[in-house]
Amino acid sequence: MKEQLIQIIMAQSPAIVAGIKALFKEKHPDLPEPTSEEVIAAELEVFGKSVIVDDAWLAAHPDWNK
């Protein structure tokens, strides 16, 4: 299943980036449109922070899945 998810994400990545750029322009019409690289960097930062929060929660709740 993981491989299939990765394939979908890879195939849809340009559309996801374009969608985020469009949302940014809608929310911030006076600012310059971010580059694709800036959008991807922001996505990676959000994902990284989410993993840190998840790991901290799991460490604080070692028995949550028992």
Compute the mean pLDDT over every residue in the chain, rounded to the nearest whole number: 93
Helices 36-60 and 2-27: crossing angle in degrees, nearest 10, is 120
CB 40 within 8 A of CB 17: yes
Model pTM score: 0.75
At which residue do the structure tokens 């980036």 appear? Answer: 17
> CB within 8 A of 6, min separation 6: which ones?
none
Residue with tokens 């019409």: 29
How many domains does the chain contain in total?
A: 1
66 found inside a domain: no
Per-residue pLDDT reduced to its tens digit, 10-26: 999 999 999 999 999 99
Residue 37 banded pLDDT, cuts 50, 70, 90 = very high
pLDDT of residue 62: 87
Q: Give the CA angle between residues 25, 12, 55 to the nearest 5°.
A: 90
Query: Is residue 48 assigned to a domain?
Result: yes
Residue ranges making up the domain that contains 8: 2-60
